[in-house]
Chain A
Amino acid sequence: MTSTAARPAPAPAARPAPRPRRRGPRLTPYALLVPAVAVLAAGLGYPLFWQVVTSLQEFGLAQQFGQPPTFVGLDNYARIFTDDRLWAVVVRSIVFCLVNAFLTVGTGVLLALLMKAVHPVVRVVLQVGLLLAWAMPMVAAVTVWKWLFDWRTGVVNWLLVQLGFDSYAGHAWLAQPLSFFFVATVIIVWMSVPFVALSVYAALTQVSDEVLEAARIDGAGPSRILWHITLPLVRPVLSIVLLLQIIWDLRVFAQIKLLQDGGAPVSETNLLGNFIYETGIGRQDFAGAAAVSIFVLALTVLLSWPYVRSLLKEDAR
């Protein structure tokens, strides 16, 4: 092993990226995909099919209770698209999603680098700290954060008052949409960062010390090493983590719903997930909810398309 891997550290830049050159049985890759495809078809295939069909029907509680649904073409889509509330929710969700995704990934990368830089014992402490946050059941997490930001008994207001900001006595954080979303962002970033930090850290462990050492000997400063060596090396993982955060943050639902319970300007703080929930479970307009779901799917595809294309291009090289 040692002898074969002994190549000069700075690989020649001009060398083309490796092309997979396996010539094995042509069925191998398909065989490898079978289990994943099977479970996806079983778990998501029918629900997706149902969603599409239902979005083209009149389907409410009566249909769920046995009345045959009637085909209505694109009526449901026409109905939701002419609903002004939907567009307000769409804009709000996109902004919220992008802010949260970038904040989460940014913080996560910083913490991953921090893990790499500190003593192993400290690292484990940090990892456990993050994992504790990740392991906390969501209901408990949102509840605790709600308590911390409570207008009357919250620790945040209490601390601010102790620090001399008397105007925060009784400040209602959830009453204004903007500060509501501030609290929601704190919670979601807090919850999502552990995953990003641990994943990126895992990717960083793939970067060998020797490469970094060689760069250092060659005189590269820490920031150059970070930008030109470390981050490019973990880019595959970084890209996918960011993309996944965008997908997930566009679908944030439960945290917002739990924050709204107990008092908030509901219609001004709804995101897409809440809109679907309200339409489906709340109003029993299952067809409308299905149409919104399909729309959200299309929206996500659209939003991430440039990004996915660049991923694929990189992949094809």
Chain B
Amino acid sequence: MTRLKFFLPVILFMGLALLLWRGLYLDPKELPSVLIDKPMPAFALTTVDDESVSNADLPEQIFLLNVWGSYCLPCLIEHPTLMRLSEEGEIPVVGVNYRDEQDLALDWLDENGNPFAFSILDELGRFGIDLGVYGAPETYLVDAEGVIRYRHVSVLDETVWAQDFLPAIAELRAESGR
């Protein structure tokens, strides 16, 4: 008993040190999204091609919602991955053109290729606020019922796809029994 009392401060210290040590390696940029397990916010907007879109136009299967902009350099880094996913038909990708100018967005898609089923035009960032976006790139995983299930902040490359998205998608599929 006295032995335990003697070592108690050391044990407490080690616990605290371990906790803080772990804290050093957490990414402060990775904020949990409040919208996880909530339906995608209602919208009635236009695409970058001036077609009107609303929630009814979203794919009726699991899809990615990717927040991008022509000004956004990391978006170029993840672009090949998005292209591959959409070209190989692995998963549909819907874009949110966040705080951009329509002309520049269209030029960007022309120049680099368009992986998006469609891109929602959000020049004023109003839809981005409803999504809780704080900067491109961000990618949401949305299920067939239009419920947001996962969010990734910053670049979605092949590593992130394999490590984070594939397991999350497998889990969703297992859940819905498909």
A binds B: no
